[in-house]
Structure 1
Amino acid sequence: MIYGWSIAKQDEYILEHICKMNKCLKTIAISIFSSNEIDSKSTQLEFIKKIEKYNKHNKRSIEILFFDACSPECWDK
């Protein structure tokens, strides 16, 4: 799970390494904090593009799940 990380340009090397672990990685769950649904969808698309950029050479796809960062249950995992 990815909590509170915007996957900014300077941090994309971390995402690149995560995608290289694709043999054992099947799912990435990302928390989304947004004040409205339009911003949330835009943020989700941005994350998807970044993950696809680094995962494009892998034969196995990574499932990407999004969850509300404000939901109390997400911090219990």
Structure 2
Amino acid sequence: MPGWKSDKQLHTDYVSHKEDSPGYTQEQAARVDQYRARLLELSLSVAAHPHWRTLGTDAVAARMALKHAHKPTEARA
């Protein structure tokens, strides 16, 4: 893939750029496709799980709480 170089940024001399890249190898592209397919599969299994129907109108609050379940208890408050 070809690289690029942007215009000078306002109020600074910084010019962002990206060097040329050979891109993914066929093996890397296949692995990325596998990861994306697995991510979609897992996302659908969580979103469509029968548990969410048991919560009624509290499903949104429960999903939001699940997003933060990995944080320590004091950080969730």
When normalised by structure 2's length, the TM-score is 0.28
Q: Which has the higher helix share?
A: 2
Structure possessing the higher radius of gyration over alpha carbons: 2
Q: What TM-score comes out, normalization by structure 1 length?
A: 0.28
RCO higher in structure (CA 8 A, sep ≥6): 1
Which has the larger share of strand? 1
